[in-house]
Every structure is written in C-alpha cells, then in structure tokens.
Amino acid sequence: MLKLTGETTVVGVFGDPVAHSLSPLMHNRAFAELGLNWVYVPFHVKPDALGGAVNGVRALGLAGVNVTVPHKVAVMAHLDEIDEEAQAIGAVNTIVNKAGRLVGYNTDGRGFLRSMERQSGRTVEGARVVVIGAGGAAQAILCSLAHKGAASIAVANRTIEKARRLVGTLAKVFGQEARSMEHGSSDERKALSEADIVIHTTTVGMHPRHDEAPPISVDVLRPETLVCDIVYNPRETALIRAARSRGCDVLTGEGMLVYQGAVAFELWTGTTAPDELMLTTLRAALDQRS
C-alpha cells in the first residue's frame, strides 16, 4: 500500500490525453518492490500549458517526468540541457531534474534494444536491419541502431522523402550509411528477404485497426529473421501472428514500453529497475483491457 509522506519523491508523465497511460501502474509497482518512497502521477497537460508545467517541475521539486504525445518535440524549448541522443532524435520523452536544472533524454531507442536483447537474445551488432516507418519511434530506434553497430540499415516508408531525411540524419550525425526505399516496393521486398531483423514502427495493426492486414508480406522473410512490432495493443498483432506462422522469431511491442520506462526509472533513481516485474505488471494490465 502506497503511503505518501512529506518525504515522498514525485515523478510522473505529461501528456494529452494521459488517462489511458499504464506507466503509473508499472512504475509505482517498481517503487513498492524496491521500498522506495516515490510516487508516479499522470498529469494531463494541454499544449498551451506545457511551459508552465515544465516550470512546475522545478518549482515543486519533482525528480522528473516522462513526456508523451503531443509534447515530445515542443518540450525541448523549455529545457536547460538536452542529451546528445535526444538532440539527434529531435524529441524528448524523459526529463531529469538535476538540482533545478532540467535535462532531457530520449529512452525509446535504448528501451527497444534492451527489450530485444532481454526477450529474444538477439543483438543488432553485425545484423542486417530493415525498419518500416519513418516517424518519431523509427528515428529513436535508428539512432540506437547506429550506436550499436548494425551491419546495414534500410528504412522503408510510404512517403520516401521522410525515409530519405532519416537516412540523411544517420549519415550526418552518426556516420551510419543507410538506404531509403518506398514501402511496398521491390527494393523493400529484396531488403526484407535478406534481413536478419525487421522492425515495424507504424500504427498499422494498433487497436482499433487490429483487423488490418500485416504491413509487410511475410512470405519473403527467412525463418531465421526476427520480426519486431512496437505496437503493444493488441499484444499479438496481425504481423506477429503472420511472422509466427512463417516460423520467424518475434518480439511484441509491450517490451519497448516497459524497457524505455526502465531506462527512465534508472535515470531518476540511480537504481536498477526491476524490469521483469514491470513487464509482468504491464502484461497483466493489457490482458485485463483486451
């Protein structure tokens, strides 16, 4: 049972909307497990109130906050410092209050890679990787892929100009060569047929669009390919089902949500997160919602 006192440390999440967030559940369970006198609170912050909310982190002495849609880009203008990886990604999802100095980080890419390593036993080092999509999640994951030494990276998107911009950022910031291609093209099919790891980052297959066809043709994949879908609602998407039937290893999306949260937990507390407990807690909550 959570007992708030005058010494309770407060963290939370800024979003609009935010009532659906499962982050309070898994973070508060983690604090209780470790016996930390901390609490995680959802804050419904409208876009025109974002600056005041960020100033409130300083004024109220919050240890930090997560930042979710639609604030991940706009919040950067209100911070004192932004981590190099978050600068490259162009978005912040975690703020740490360092004695009144607010520092922004992006834990999405690191969370995805930790999820992949812990849950599938795979690493990206030396792997041929295809990323489907070119939004904010794709950019975060691509930056982490570049850090970890993927052998080759291909980015496929319906609007090829967005894919080209991401590829240009990888080359400029990280010196990582990558290819851009149009989603659904013959170039994409060839890249998929050669891939060691495929990462789907769009909203296709997310509830309530969960009955849509898989976003790629799994018939071109090799059985040894790892297929990852960052969509976590539903836990098993049409893509994951199709990849399983193809004989591929799969990685479902709830792991990225948990492990990006675990990285934020560690930035705030300086303590190793009980990430397996956080994962179990999240899965139970998702099962209740389904």
Catalytic residues: 72
User: Whose structure tokens read 């901390």?
Assistant: 38
Rounded to 5 degrees, φ, ψ at 169 are: -65, -45
Strands 197-200, 101-105: pairing is unpaired
Q: Which amino acid is at 286?
A: L
Best CA proximity match to 268, nearest among 103, 117, 124, 46: 103
C-alpha to C-alpha distances, 76 to 29, 70, 100, 181, 267, nearest whole angstrom: 29, 12, 16, 30, 18
Asked if 148 and 174 touch (Cβ cutoff 8 Å), the reply is no
CA separation for the pair 99, 23 (Å, rounded)? 24
**Burial status of residue 144 (CB atoms within 10 A of its CB: 0-12, 13-18, 19 or more):** buried
Please tell me whether the peptide bond between 214 and the residue prior to it is cis, using omega within 30 degrees of 0.
Answer: no
Residue with tokens 């300086």: 270
Q: How far apart are CA 193 and CA 201, in angstroms?
A: 18
**Contact by Cβ (8 Å): 240, 221:** no
Residue pointed to by tokens 């912050």: 45
What single-letter DSSP state applies at residue 238? H
What CA–CA distances, in Å, run from 48 to 45, 81, 139, 236, 288?
Answer: 8, 22, 26, 36, 34
